[in-house]
Amino acid sequence: MGYIRKKKLAELAGVSITTISKFFNQKPIRVDKFNIICKTLLFLDYEAIIQKVEEE
């Protein structure tokens, strides 16, 4: 996952990019942050994010 996509996911989930990186690299993070990221990924409209990234 590239930096821009991690940044967008971090914004949507309300967590830091560091937390997102730890999540995808299977490093320890707080349970509440883990749950938020998982919920965000389940409801993520990836097509809208791709479109926004391409516009930037």
Encode pLDDT of 25-48 as tens digits: 989 999 899 889 988 988 666 666
Judge residue 21's burial from the number of C-beta atoms within 10 Å of its C-beta, 0-12 exposed, 13-18 middle, 19 or more buried.
middle
Q: Model pTM?
A: 0.72
Is the model's pLDDT at 20 over the cut of 70?
yes
Which carries the bigger pLDDT value, residue 55 or residue 47? Answer: 55
Token pair 């937390």 in the structure block, residue: 19
- The answer to whether 19 touches 33, Cβ cutoff 8 Å, is yes
- The answer to whether 1 touches 7, Cβ cutoff 8 Å, is no
Length of the chain equals 56
